[in-house]
């Protein structure tokens, strides 16, 4: 019965009952009830009557044929909560059991099938497999036409499927590149108090197979390694453990010095090695399943082994020795100290390739998807597949730093698939996925304290897609979008037939109006929000957009062929050839004249303008699609999303207009006939400032 808050506790229960019935009636009469997005894709909205009746035959009371454990209890509770919500009264049942068939499969694998009596059977060799299986069964009930032929074995493609939170453990909870509020990790109130949100976060992660979380910014603070913070981390780790999630820490390389214990951090010095060993032991004494350290070293002002004339392998191996076989060291490849090299995209390869074979067995090199920095489109990082004697892992950015941040709708699965499916050319169909599958994949989280977790409702799809792809990279972007939208909004076929193509198109649309044809890094300084292709006054040359586009009166683009920086040579020949010929990467790899003939028959300039316009039209089309979806969406999320589309419509025009105005100031070319000129002059766009933009660095 619904309880109403009442000042007069003496009022009769019958009053409450009448009110309750009244509210229930109102709710039934509403086409859809308001929702705030907190439930993510775990809403378990009632199936339509036919499907509910069908699924009800296979779902119902949970029978445990395994010993109870906290994880098994979570699986049982999830099923018991979800089944009545999905189907109402259920006539079947669900059995949780061990399985012989899964021996040899990776941790977390499970099998779903039907017993002869029609009940569902979830089998796994470990408890976490049962929890994953429980979520998978519920997903199947929601997304398959029926459960009548349920029979699937599912095993994770990669052992490490982790989120990297760039959350600063500071009082303001600021998240670097975070656009959904502040950090959900409340270090101040830990270890005494842990917010319910943390359990809900863990549950959402478990539902998509995420099994690791690095909880603090890679620009790390040394105090995270102190005793009080280890106690706080322990409380967090204890909460996440039943959900199969191990915690990791971003470690500040100079911590022994910063914390006042030593006067240098040289990784080959025995005192430094002993310090890290003792520190790591201290952590493991509290958190026996601590995952390990994530390290950003000698990058963007962070300290690292190069400060002591030691190599990255020396640094990583020192930490790896401290961790031992208890965990891993994730060493980030995102470095770009110049030392004379004039193409930033070549620097990480030049640093790390010679170190192949030098890293310890529990050190993993974590490589961003592209050689620059999470741009709307980049070629894959040349290190993938190029270090056969080194464990490597893929890092993608779930938060949309360079893709419209917290106001544009961009579904990122197509971008990640583009990267993951790329053949590196370094071996027999050695795709990026295959090159990292033995280790894993990390996603820079987009989660914050916003009620809907991710700032916009559609950004939830990127969190979801990250987990699903890390579990099964063979899933298509379309399947994942369909699953997500069905669980999050509506399973109606008409709704899905509109929303899924809209999501699939959204990434190319963003590329079109921001950085068409291989352009990159044209965003305004610091906050990276909005266009700033004219910027040329930042301290380091490679921080400036002009460094990347190299446009002048005659042409545009960065020559990375043999006549230029020859970054192409860092790729295996087949991959280099593909990239050299692909128009989508034209201006990434080539400097070309404005009148170059394109595949379309247009000149480059006309093609660029056409792409900008295509991008703007694409956003308009998405916004119009959304309006048509009103019948299937609750008013709250409908309005919310509609407003973000309106912002994106304005900003797509802003990107297009500012870019065109700037390119025209260089090339002096007219716009093709009939094309709308920018409404303002270049100075107007240059004058825009956004000091309050969220998520800025540091």
Query: Among residues 501 and 697, whose Cβ is nearest to ligand BDP?
Result: 697
Query: Among residues 35 and 343, whose Cβ is nearest to ligand BDP?
Result: 343
Q: From the CB of 652, what's the least distance to ligand BDP, in Å?
A: 22
Instruction: List C-alpha distances in Å: 647 to 221, 590, 642.
Output: 36, 33, 9
Q: Which of 127, 401, 483, 559 is an active site residue? A: 401
CB 518 within 8 A of CB 391: no
Nearest residue to ligand BDP, by Cβ distance, number only: 697
Q: Which of 373, 450, 510, 607 is an active site residue? A: 373
Q: From the CB of 217, what's the least distance to ligand BDP, in Å?
A: 8
Check binding of 505 to ligand BDP (CB under 6 A). no
CB 194 within 8 A of CB 239: yes
Other CB atoms closer than 10 Å to residue 256's CB: what's the count? 24
365 vs 596: CA distance, rounded Å? 40
Q: From the CB of 74, what's the least distance to ligand BDP, in Å?
A: 33
Q: How many residues interact with ligand BDP (rule CB under 6 A)?
A: 11
Q: From the CB of 538, what's the least distance to ligand BDP, in Å?
A: 13
Other CB atoms closer than 10 Å to residue 597's CB: what's the count? 12
257 vs 260: CA distance, rounded Å? 5
Please report how many Cα atoms fall inside a 13 Å half-sphere around the Cα of residue 284, on the Cβ side.
16
224 in helix, strand or coil?
helix
Query: Among residues 112 and 218, whose Cβ is nearest to ligand BDP?
Result: 218
Query: Among residues 370 and 467, whose Cβ is nearest to ligand BDP?
Result: 370
Tokens encoding 570:
């860092």
Positive or negative torsion for Cα 335, 336, 339, 340: positive
Q: From the CB of 500, what's the least distance to ligand BDP, in Å?
A: 29
Check binding of 697 to ligand BDP (CB under 6 A). yes
Tokens encoding 575:
């991959």
Check binding of 373 to ligand BDP (CB under 6 A). yes
Among residue numbers 288 through 347, which ones bind ligand BDP (CB under 6 A)?
296, 300, 334
Query: Among residues 334 and 495, whose Cβ is nearest to ligand BDP?
Result: 334
Check binding of 167 to ligand BDP (CB under 6 A). no
Task: Tell me the pairing of strands 62-64 and 94-97.
Answer: parallel
CB 529 within 8 A of CB 400: no
Query: Among residues 296 and 310, whose Cβ is nearest to ligand BDP?
Result: 296
Tokens encoding 82:
């979800």
Instruction: List C-alpha distances in Å: 432 to 288, 405, 518.
Output: 32, 26, 20
Q: From the CB of 522, what's the least distance to ligand BDP, in Å?
A: 14
Task: Tell me the pairing of strands 110-114 and 120-124.
Answer: antiparallel
Q: From the CB of 651, what's the least distance to ligand BDP, in Å?
A: 19
Check binding of 218 to ligand BDP (CB under 6 A). yes
Check binding of 176 to ligand BDP (CB under 6 A). yes
Interaction mask 118-157, ligand BDP, x per CB under 6 A: ----------------------------------------
Check binding of 174 to ligand BDP (CB under 6 A). no
Q: From the CB of 566, what's the least distance to ligand BDP, in Å?
A: 25
Other CB atoms closer than 10 Å to residue 577's CB: what's the count? 13
CB 398 within 8 A of CB 466: yes
Query: Among residues 272 and 335, whose Cβ is nearest to ligand BDP?
Result: 335
111 in helix, strand or coil?
strand
Tokens encoding 430:
């050695």
Q: From the CB of 94, what's the least distance to ligand BDP, in Å?
A: 43
CB 331 within 8 A of CB 297: yes
Other CB atoms closer than 10 Å to residue 421's CB: what's the count? 14
592 in helix, strand or coil?
strand
CB 179 within 8 A of CB 694: yes
Query: Among residues 96 and 442, whose Cβ is nearest to ligand BDP?
Result: 442
Check binding of 221 to ligand BDP (CB under 6 A). no
Report phi then psi at 293, rounded to 5: -110, 145
With a CB cutoff of 8 Å and minimum separation 6, the contacts of 608 are 516, 517, 663
Task: Name the H helices within 388-445.
Answer: 413-420, 432-436
CB 124 within 8 A of CB 98: yes
Among residue numbers 386 through 405, which ones bind ligand BDP (CB under 6 A)?
401
Check binding of 203 to ligand BDP (CB under 6 A). no
Which of 135, 187, 243, 374 is in the footprint of ligand BDP by CB under 6 A? 374
Check binding of 175 to ligand BDP (CB under 6 A). no
- H-helix or E-strand containing 638? helix 635-667
The conformational region for residue 108 under phi > 0 = left, psi -120 to 50 = alpha, else beta, is left
Query: Among residues 335 and 503, whose Cβ is nearest to ligand BDP?
Result: 335
Query: Among residues 471 and 548, whose Cβ is nearest to ligand BDP?
Result: 548
Query: Among residues 177 and 457, whose Cβ is nearest to ligand BDP?
Result: 177
Q: From the CB of 403, what's the least distance to ligand BDP, in Å?
A: 11
Cβ-count burial 201-240 (b if 16+ within 10 Å, e if not): bbbbbbbbbbbbbbbbbbbbbbebbeeebbebbbbbbebb
510 an active-site residue?
Answer: no
With a CB cutoff of 8 Å and minimum separation 6, the contacts of 251 are 220, 224, 225, 293, 294, 295, 319
Identify which of 571, 546, 551, 552 has the alpha carbon closest to the alpha carbon of residue 561: 571
Identify which of 280, 285, 345 has the alpha carbon closest to the alpha carbon of residue 548: 345
Q: Which of 195, 269, 282, 300 is an active site residue? A: 300
Local structure of residue 193 (DSSP, 8 states): -
401 an active-site residue?
Answer: yes
451 vs 37: CA distance, rounded Å? 7
Check binding of 177 to ligand BDP (CB under 6 A). yes
616 in helix, strand or coil?
helix
Determine if the peptide bond prior to 191 is cis (ω within 30°): yes
Q: From the CB of 548, what's the least distance to ligand BDP, in Å?
A: 14
Task: By CB under 6 A, name the binding residues for ligand BDP.
Answer: 176-177, 218-219, 296, 300, 334, 373-374, 401, 697
Q: Just list the catalytic residues.
A: 300, 373, 401
């Amino acid at each position: 019965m619904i309880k109403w808050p009442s000042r007069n506790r003496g009022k009769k229960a019958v009053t409450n009952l009448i009110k309750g019935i009244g509210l229930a009636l109102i709710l039934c009469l509403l086409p859809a009830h308001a929702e705030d997005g907190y439930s993510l894709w775990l809403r378990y909205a009632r199936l339509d009557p036919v499907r509910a009746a069908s699924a009800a035959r296979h779902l119902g009371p949970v029978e445990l044929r395994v010993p109870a454990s906290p994880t098994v209890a979570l699986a049982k509770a999830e099923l018991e909560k979800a089944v009545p919500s999905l189907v109402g009264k259920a006539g079947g049942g669900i059995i949780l059991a061990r399985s012989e068939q899964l021996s040899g499969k990776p941790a977390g694998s499970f099998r779903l099938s039907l017993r002869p009596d029609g009940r569902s059977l979830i089998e796994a060799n470990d408890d976490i497999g049962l929890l994953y299986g429980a979520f998978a069964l519920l997903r199947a009930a929601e997304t398959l036409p029926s459960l009548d032929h349920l029979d699937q074995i599912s095993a994770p493609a990669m052992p490490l499927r982790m989120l990297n939170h760039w959350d600063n453990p500071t009082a303001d909870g600021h998240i670097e590149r975070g656009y959904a509020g502040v950090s959900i990790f409340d270090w101040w109130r830990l270890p005494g108090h842990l917010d319910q949100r943390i359990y809900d976060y863990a549950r959402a992660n478990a539902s998509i197979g995420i099994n690791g979380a690095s909880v603090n910014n890679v620009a790390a603070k040394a105090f995270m390694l102190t005793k009080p913070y280890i106690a706080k981390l322990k409380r967090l780790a204890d909460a996440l453990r039943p959900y199969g999630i191990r915690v990791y820490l971003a470690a500040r390389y100079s911590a022994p010095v910063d914390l006042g214990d030593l006067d240098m951090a040289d990784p080959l010095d025995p005192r430094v090695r002993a310090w890290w060993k003792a520190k790591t032991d201290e952590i493991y004494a509290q958190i026996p399943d601590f995952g390990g350290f994530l390290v950003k070293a000698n990058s963007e002002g962070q300290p690292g082994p190069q400060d002591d004339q030691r190599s990255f392998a020396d640094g990583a191996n020192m930490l790896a020795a401290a961790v031992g076989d208890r965990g891993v060291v994730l060493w980030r490849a995102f470095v770009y100290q110049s030392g004379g090299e004039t193409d930033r995209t070549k620097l990480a390869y030049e640093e790390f390739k010679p170190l192949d074979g030098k890293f310890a067995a529990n050190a993993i090199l974590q490589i961003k998807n592209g050689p620059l920095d999470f741009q709307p489109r980049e070629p894959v990082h040349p290190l993938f597949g190029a270090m056969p004697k080194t464990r490597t892992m893929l890092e993608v950015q779930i938060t949309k730093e360079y893709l419209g941040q917290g106001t544009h709708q961009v579904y990122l699965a197509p971008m990640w698939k583009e990267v993951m499916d790329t053949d590196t050319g370094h071996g027999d169909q050695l795709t990026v996925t295959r090159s990292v599958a033995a280790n894993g994949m990390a996603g820079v989280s987009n989660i914050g304290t916003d009620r809907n977790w991710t700032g916009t409702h559609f950004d939830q799809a990127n969190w979801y897609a990250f987990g699903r792809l890390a579990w099964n990279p063979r899933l298509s972007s379309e399947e994942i979008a369909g699953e997500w939208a069905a669980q999050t909004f509506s399973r109606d076929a008409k709704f899905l037939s509109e929303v899924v193509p809209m999501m699939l198109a959204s990434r190319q649309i963003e590329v079109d109006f921001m950085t068409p044809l291989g352009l990159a890094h044209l965003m305004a300084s610091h906050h990276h929000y909005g266009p700033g292709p004219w910027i040329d006054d930042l301290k380091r040359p490679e921080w400036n957009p002009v460094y990347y586009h190299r446009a002048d009166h005659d042409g545009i683009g960065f020559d990375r062929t043999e006549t230029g920086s020859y970054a192409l040579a860092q790729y295996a020949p087949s991959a280099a050839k593909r990239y050299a010929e692909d128009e989508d990467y034209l201006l990434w790899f080539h400097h070309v004249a404005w009148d170059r003939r394109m595949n379309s028959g247009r000149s480059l300039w006309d093609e660029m303008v056409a792409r900008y316009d295509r991008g703007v039209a694409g956003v308009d089309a998405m916004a119009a699609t959304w309006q048509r979806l009103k019948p299937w969406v609750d008013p709250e999320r409908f309005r919310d999303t509609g407003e973000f589309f309106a912002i994106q419509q304005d900003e797509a025009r802003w990107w297009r207009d500012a870019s065109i105005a700037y390119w025209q100031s260089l090339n002096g070319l007219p716009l093709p006939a009939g094309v709308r000129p920018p409404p303002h002059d270049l100075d107007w766009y240059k004058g825009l400032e956004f000091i309050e933009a969220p998520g800025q660095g540091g």
